[in-house]
Structure 1
Amino acid sequence: MFGRFITLLLCITYLSAGHPIVIDGLWDDWQEVPVAITDPEGDYNYDDWAELKITNDDEFVFFKISLHSEETLLQNWNNFFLYIDADRDSLTGHPFRGLGAELAWHFGYRTGQYFDQNGITDLWQNDISLRQAPTVTSTEFEIAIARGCVALTDPDSIAVIFSSYYDTGDYMPDNWGGVAYQMDTTVVGPAEPILLEKTGTRLVSYNTLYTGILAPDRQPYFERIFQALDPDIIALQEHSEWNEIGDIISSWFPENTWYQGYTFRDLVVLSKYPIINQANLISSERTMCALLETDDPVNPYLLILNSHFSCCDNDDDRQEQVDELVQVLREWRLNDNGPFDLPEGTPMFHVGDFNFVGYHEQIETVTAGDIQDEATYGIDHPLDWDGTAITDLFSRHTHKRMAYTWRSDGSSFNPGKLDYVLYTDSNLSILNHFVLNTLAMPDSVLNEWELEAEDTNEASDHLPRIVDFMVTDLGISGELDLPQQYILSHPYPNPFNPQVMIPITLARKAHIQLRIYDIHGRLVISLADAVLPAGKKLFSWDGSQNPSGVYIVSCQAGHIMQTEKVILLK
């Protein structure tokens, strides 16, 4: 039998590839990664593996796993095991189906073991820098483990096996000896930096952990963070006082006038713009709203929803809260049955600590308006004014290919995306967005913005989410005669493959910025940034190098912007 193990290991074909993977729960960056193993459907009655991909960058080894069976959580509700043979020696480590595994990780229990010549060491997620997404139920997940962690010690190659139920479930691969992967030594390089410079009206959403801004030992961290970010609108969660926060923010920005809203439970909105109305929205007091009067010439109103939904295993409570919220918004918009008058077409952000660590249906409810308990809360209702879902904005760290917004190294739970930014993309355009993680920023950037490496780590267990935006809906105020400026006509053909034509008519000479963004607000290409003479213009964009999907054509002249959605269909 021993000879069989050796033969199997020697006959395995090495896989090798390096890719810049972002752990964010999106899959576009995995498209070019080759499939390591395809597992047949129906070879196990319960959790049934479907596919495995493996790749690496300079810091992490990445795995993408998918299931034939129904969706589950990766950090709970399962008995998934990952075995990694880090020295490719079946005689060292824990013996398992032809491997000598140095690392055995139990995803559902959130614990692992490291096996070496000195015995067995118990591990938690922080010991291996475990990063995974999404945090909600799914049939596919992406996983990152630090190559230099104690259990791997930066190996040249590894062999891996996934098991769906301890050591008796479905195996991936089914054959003994595992899947061998050769680390690609090609330098992948660091993440493309996201600049901190403000490019529009800036909204910052931040869970401050037990009203941390008021804590004398933590306040200096928050002060540096907020002064570097220079927000125009602030939405705080886990901030339960109402006497001091306005004065504190004003002292950090003495050149500005700040307006402080009322604290609902542990939610508060502060703004450089007047807060003309505010209210609690649901019975649990876990969502409030504030209506701001901005200086935007297109639409002077902006609605901010700020939420802190129930945490942890309270899935039923969370679903009730989001169901009720959609009911409230539906009745407000359709029947004028709301806490105050809301002008039709008012741009809306919904931000906060959503604590989505259970069923993914909660995301569907707050984006698409898909109510689960219709018997209690009524029919579904789309949450964007154009009858579609509002957009879930996926942001990453400024200097790292990670998207988590919560991290507690002493917890058994790995970092994850708990903080959300949702917005009505029918009338809001995202100009820049990111998660601030000072631990991952180079010294030169920290010094430029007068930040310190430990600032976000010491301030809170959450990271702030930042979004720069501008209003793009031109049909509400009625004060601007757009045809006197310019007209962005409907692009054609739409859908298109691979080229789309974009007509613009200028009534007079103007500085035009014509850009293409993906559905997550990331700039794809700039087609024009110049002063153009009056007349009809025709631009084209070739999307042959881009994946299929929805893209936003954005045309800006001064403070006025128009957008059109186009669909690349390959």
Structure 2
Amino acid sequence: MIKRYFLTLMVFSVFISSLNAQSICIDGKFNDWNGVTTNTDAANDGNGVDMRGFSVANDAENLYIRLITNTDINIGDSINLYMNIDADNNTSTGFYSNGIGADVAWRCGYGYGFYYHDGTKDTIYASQLGIAGLTTYKNDTFEIAISRAAQVGNPVKNLFIGNSVKINFVNGLSGGDYMPNFNSTYTYTFSNQLTSDFAPMELAKCNANYIRVMSYNVEFDGLIDAARTNQFKRVFQAINPDIIVLNECGSTSYTLAKAKLDSWLPLGTANGWVCYKVDGGNIICSKYPVSYATNINPSRKATVAYIDLPATYQTNLLVIGTHLMYFSDGDSTRQREADIISAYLRDMKAGTTAYKIPANTPFFIAGDFNMVNNYSPLNTMLTGNIVHTETYGTGSAPDWNGGQLSSENAKVADKNMTYTWRPNDVGGRRWPGKLDYILHSNTNLEIKKSFVLQSEIMSQARLTQYGLLASDSYIASDHLPIVADLQIPTSNSLLFTVQWNGKVNTAWENPANWDCSTVPDKYSNVVIPANVPNYPYVNYNTEIHSLTLNNGSTVNVKPTVKLLVNGQ
């Protein structure tokens, strides 16, 4: 039964003041640190990196640390910056550092650290600490997660054994900064107040009308490496994409990529998959016909492909697949590559490109952006702000509506973090970071679900569900596939049922509370079953197609917020 009268009553319900606590997501956005105490440090009180503050939080899985500096730095190149952790809160054990007994000294710029125990020192790596940090590009704020289940040493032992730790940061230069200040210490006591609002995502596409895109750096021609073929096959089958951008395919032909896809994901059509390779390393593949493909950056790699979507869609789709220059000293090349892409979008909107793209055609840019130093190339693609105007002309806002593009901050499907790369060897000397991106227009395009697939952290039940082995993504590539489901206007709106499960909290807008990990929209028939852990609370204006409340179930709507059912 659809109970619209219930919604009308609940609009005037009493405001629920104690809403869901927001957990920390390692996504480089930092809004979830609001309300967490910042321990400040004086400006210009030491040589080298000038640290200004830090915050600490935790949930059941991780210890979280936010670091604030006085100016933008590349934390991955800050070779004199140490993060020291007294994991047992015992000054007499570990390495003495500014009043604490540091069991772990993490060398931020080297991507590894040391574990001090029993009078000895072991080198430890990111995978052993379960450490990850963002942003990967230069910034003045960073957030870091360290697994509370980390095990180190030989013989292996738990790193965190008590309910409190001491933390400091030290710049190892002569006269370098200390935080807390010299001869001061900071103790953090673990708390149960912060609980995660994340749950593993369902990988399935929730609506057949959505177009699933995948961007994947397959690491040194992985598709033609016989030792990795089965791993890639299982990953591709679990994701089941409609359009694919592949990076690092320098020696891989488009015919081989097509043959793999026709075998792994057969379409049952006469022509099968369509693949194009028109630059030195990117391949774009599509279940749908491709009218046009070209490399817009002959000196590097940037392929544009115009996809002919089925007639049920009101528009076709433009794809730009790119792989920006690698290495932290590749900023100049990355900037020019970004300028070229933005110049193409400017000319596309003006109708001056060789192949005319119809106005308001939705588009996305995907690939390995290698954002390991300056933010400027990413900013150029988002805003259209061309830096080298003397060569590429004046930029303009890239979206058809005069706005900037959006960057999809896809989470790892089984972890509340947004990295897309991690070392796939124990001794890898970097912590996980975000290198791969999907940017998209907001005209005629909305992303309904996104995720990054990392099989090695999935539960056995989920691995079985999706036909994966734990080692698949680990063996396949050091990059992880990033996936997004696009909603593009159609002539026949396909309705689909979305059921509430409430397994995390009461937030209607949290995908983790819904089967298929997708928040309902105006095409959704919503079902609220009885006997769920939490019933939904609507915090933002929302429109759905229908609402079914099973006996005993409820929906609360925040005052001043509207929940529209089929436009009413």
The normalised TM-score by structure 2 is 0.79
Matched, 1:53 2:59: no
Matched, 1:173 2:180: yes
Q: How far 1:53 sits from its partner (Å)?
A: 0.6
Give the equivalent residue in structure 1 for 2:94: 93
Q: Deviations over 1:186-213 (max 9, x none)?
A: 6835831211111311111111112212
Structure 2 unaligned residues grouped into runs of 5+: 1-20, 494-521, 527-538, 549-555
Give the equivalent residue in structure 2 for 1:348: 363
Per the alignment, in what secondary structure is the counterpart of residue 320 of structure 1?
helix
Distance 1:220 1:193, change over 3 A: same
- Among 26, 32, 43, which residue is 1:41 paired with? 43
Matches within 5 A, 1:48-127: 48-67=50-69, 69-77=70-78, 79-127=80-128
Matches within 5 A, 1:304-453: 304-313=319-328, 314-334=330-350, 336-408=351-423, 409=425, 410-453=427-470
Q: Which has the higher contact order (CA 8 A, sep 6+)?
A: 2
Q: Deviations over 1:158-193 (max 9, x none)?
A: 111112344732222125242101122568358312
Q: Deviations over 1:464-483 (max 9, x none)?
A: 111111114x9xxxxx799x
Give the equivalent residue in structure 2 for 1:243: 255
Q: Confirm or deny: 8 A CA contact 2:267 2:287 kept in the other structure.
A: no
Looking at structure 2, the residues matched to 180 and 171 of structure 1 have their Cα atoms a distance apart, in angstroms, of 15
Q: Confirm or deny: 8 A CA contact 1:513 1:555 kept in the other structure.
A: no
Looking at structure 2, the residues matched to 555 and 265 of structure 1 have their Cα atoms a distance apart, in angstroms, of 50
More displaced 10-residue stretch of structure 1: 74-83 or 433-442: 74-83
Looking at structure 2, the residues matched to 338 and 188 of structure 1 have their Cα atoms a distance apart, in angstroms, of 51
Give the equivalent residue in structure 2 for 1:232: 242
Matched, 1:471 2:472: no
Looking at structure 2, the residues matched to 220 and 423 of structure 1 have their Cα atoms a distance apart, in angstroms, of 31
Q: Confirm or deny: 8 A CA contact 2:543 2:565 kept in the other structure.
A: no
Q: Confirm or deny: 8 A CA contact 1:282 1:328 kept in the other structure.
A: no
Q: How far 1:23 sits from its partner (Å)?
A: 1.4
Q: Deviations over 1:312-371 (max 9, x none)?
A: 12111111111122223223322x332311111110010011111010111101111122
Looking at structure 2, the residues matched to 359 and 296 of structure 1 have their Cα atoms a distance apart, in angstroms, of 42
Distance 1:188 1:250, change over 3 A: same
Matches within 5 A, 1:213-292: 213-240=223-250, 241-256=253-268, 257-292=272-307
More displaced 10-residue stretch of structure 1: 388-397 or 46-55: 46-55
Distance 1:377 1:436, change over 3 A: same
Give the equivalent residue in structure 1 for 2:478: 461
More displaced 10-residue stretch of structure 1: 124-133 or 393-402: 124-133
Q: Deviations over 1:433-466 (max 9, x none)?
A: 1001111211112111211111111111111111
- Count of aligned residue pairs for this structure pair: 483
Q: How far 1:22 sits from its partner (Å)?
A: 1.7
Q: Confirm or deny: 8 A CA contact 2:278 2:295 kept in the other structure.
A: no
Looking at structure 2, the residues matched to 29 and 471 of structure 1 have their Cα atoms a distance apart, in angstroms, of 30
Partner AA of 2:86 in structure 1: D
Per the alignment, in what secondary structure is the counterpart of residue 332 of structure 1?
helix
Looking at structure 1, the residues matched to 42 and 557 of structure 2 have their Cα atoms a distance apart, in angstroms, of 41
Q: How far 1:230 sits from its partner (Å)?
A: 1.5
Q: How far 1:390 sits from its partner (Å)?
A: 0.5
Higher strand share: 1
Q: Deviations over 1:108-136 (max 9, x none)?
A: 23332222223222333333222100100
Give the equivalent residue in structure 2 for 1:155: 161
More displaced 10-residue stretch of structure 1: 23-32 or 523-532: 523-532
Q: Confirm or deny: 8 A CA contact 2:23 2:194 kept in the other structure.
A: no
Partner AA of 2:301 in structure 1: R
Distance 1:468 1:215, change over 3 A: same
Looking at structure 2, the residues matched to 25 and 187 of structure 1 have their Cα atoms a distance apart, in angstroms, of 19
Partner AA of 2:180 in structure 1: P
Q: Confirm or deny: 8 A CA contact 2:22 2:196 kept in the other structure.
A: no
Looking at structure 2, the residues matched to 444 and 154 of structure 1 have their Cα atoms a distance apart, in angstroms, of 28
Q: How far 1:296 sits from its partner (Å)?
A: 5.2
Looking at structure 2, the residues matched to 435 and 345 of structure 1 have their Cα atoms a distance apart, in angstroms, of 28
Q: How far 1:45 sits from its partner (Å)?
A: 6.4
Looking at structure 2, the residues matched to 138 and 225 of structure 1 have their Cα atoms a distance apart, in angstroms, of 33
- Among 26, 30, 37, which residue is 1:27 paired with? 30
Per the alignment, in what secondary structure is the counterpart of residue 127 of structure 1?
helix
Per the alignment, in what secondary structure is the counterpart of residue 71 of structure 1?
strand
Distance 1:556 1:210, change over 3 A: farther
Looking at structure 2, the residues matched to 375 and 208 of structure 1 have their Cα atoms a distance apart, in angstroms, of 35
More displaced 10-residue stretch of structure 1: 239-248 or 189-198: 189-198
Looking at structure 1, the residues matched to 96 and 413 of structure 2 have their Cα atoms a distance apart, in angstroms, of 41
Matched, 1:202 2:219: no
Looking at structure 2, the residues matched to 274 and 524 of structure 1 have their Cα atoms a distance apart, in angstroms, of 39
Q: How far 1:419 sits from its partner (Å)?
A: 0.6
Looking at structure 2, the residues matched to 555 and 271 of structure 1 have their Cα atoms a distance apart, in angstroms, of 36
